Amino acid sequence: MSQKPKLWTKDFIMVATSNFLLFISFYMLIVTLAIYAVDQFDASQSQAGLASSIFVLGAVLVRPIAGRIIDKVGKKKLLLFGLALFLVFMLFYFPVNNLAALLVIRFIHGFAFGISTTATSTIAADIIPIVRRGEGMGYFATSTNLAMAIGPFLGLYISQHFNNPMIFIATTVFAAVALIATVFLRVPKVDIVNEPTPTRKGFHINDFFEKTTIPIAILVATVGFVYSSILSFFSAYAAEINLVDAASFFFIMYAIFLVASRPFTGRLFDAKGENSVVYPSLLLFAVGLVILSQASVGISLLLAGAVIGVGFGTFQSSAQTIAVNQAPRQRIGLATSTFFVFFDFGIGVGPFLLGFVLPLIGFRGLYIAMAVIVLLSVGIYYIVHGKKAAEQRRINMDSTEMKIS
């Protein structure tokens, strides 16, 4: 029996660490910047929301460009540039003295974040052995999922117990550590034979988006839209049902159960194929949303966090692996950027659109509606990828049986 290639290399740990520190900085700032804008600059609620969300707009706009140029510039060089820019603009938060300047800083900071996270995901896909990509990308995505749980908790804790600059001090330190780790990162050279292509002038959509990624990315945008209902309205919902104390541990349960399930789900993806993981993860996400919608005691809220952690967290990493596996090797950077453009779009437009629906159906009705959308997403997955994946697996199994016989 041949030994599996090593997954937990120094370089894999470094790129996952850099990714984690980027995302924890993002989530720490996303939950505190609106409050900061109101306190420091007497911003209106809409202006405060813009100060928080304009960062995501910057990231979305730059990702297609980063995905297009990453192989030309070099993955490590692009990552170093993005991280250096991210660190420099962290420093600009300290002297800012008006709302307009804060908005400009947030927008350019989003650019730096989009460049850096596109590069980390692309580098991770290169570092992970192909035969362990489902497992490896699952662990890599855990760095994002953990940041999603720890970042808001840490950001709110610091804002409640320290003065405003402490948030910027903490995120600046994280950015500096991420940059230092990347300096010592060794990115493998990938030998790619590029077929000659005719020179084209003007704008071409294929230059900025990977077409093989778009079907699964549509599903990712839909599920991201659903998850935005938790990011945006969970705190207000917890206050309405008098479970604020339990709510502070919701994302901790999310992280614990996601990490605990990761070894099993990643190996299952590689051994049995993506359908064996994606269908159950979507169903679990829907079940978690139903539990959340009916929560009346703390334990039910924590149970919802655990189930959603396994469901949504597993789906996100599995979908990213599918996007990378579907793309030609020389377009993995574009596949990664395409994936995150759609995901960020779903996360970004969700709060705006759901804000119109919430007064009509209330929090419990909102989460039931979100569960229905996730159940419909099972059908979307079957159409955009699941059916094809099942047929391909059948062909592979028949081919293996023929070789054995």
What is the mean predicted confidence (pLDDT) over 106-130?
91
Please give the class, per CATH, of domain 7-188: mainly alpha
The tokens describing 306, both together, are 């655990």
Cβ(12)–Cβ(141) under 8 Å? no
Cβ(110)–Cβ(55) under 8 Å? yes
CATH 1.20.1250.20 placement within the chain: 7-188, 207-404
Q: Which residue has the higher pLDDT, 206 or 284?
A: 284
Other beta carbons less than 10 A from residue 52's beta carbon: 19
Cβ(17)–Cβ(181) under 8 Å? yes
Rounded to whole angstroms, the Cα distance separating 133 from 324 reads 9
Per-residue pLDDT, 100: 92
Per-residue pLDDT, 27: 84
Cβ(63)–Cβ(114) under 8 Å? yes
* Band of pLDDT at residue 273, cut at 50, 70 and 90: confident
* Band of pLDDT at residue 105, cut at 50, 70 and 90: very high
Cβ(367)–Cβ(229) under 8 Å? yes
Q: How far is CA 223 from CA 61, 269, 371, in A?
A: 20, 19, 10
Per-residue pLDDT, 315: 94
Q: Which residue has the higher pLDDT, 382 or 198?
A: 382
* Band of pLDDT at residue 238, cut at 50, 70 and 90: confident
Per-residue pLDDT, 197: 46
39 Cβ contact list (under 8 Å, min separation 6): 164
pLDDT tens profile 10-64: 999 999 999 999 999 988 887 778 778 888 888 876 677 777 778 888 888 898 8
Tokens 């250096």 belong to residue: 84
Rounded to whole angstroms, the Cα distance separating 43 from 369 reads 32
pLDDT tens profile 341-358: 898 888 878 877 888 888
pLDDT tens profile 145-194: 788 778 877 887 888 788 878 999 999 999 999 999 999 898 877 655 44
From the list 19, 259, 211, 207, the residue with the least C-alpha distance to 121 is 19
Helix, strand, coil % over all residues of the chain, rounded to 5: 85, 0, 15
Q: How far is CA 295 from CA 85, 108, 266, 281, 358, in A?
A: 43, 40, 30, 21, 17
From the list 15, 40, 52, 135, the residue with the least C-alpha distance to 97 is 40
Domain 207-404 sits in CATH at: 1.20.1250.20
Q: How far is CA 41 from CA 245, 262, 336, in A?
A: 30, 43, 37
280-319 in b/e form (b: 16+ CB < 10 A) is: bbbebbbbbbbbbbebeebebbbbbbbbbbbbbbbbbbbb
Rounded to whole angstroms, the Cα distance separating 202 from 209 reads 15
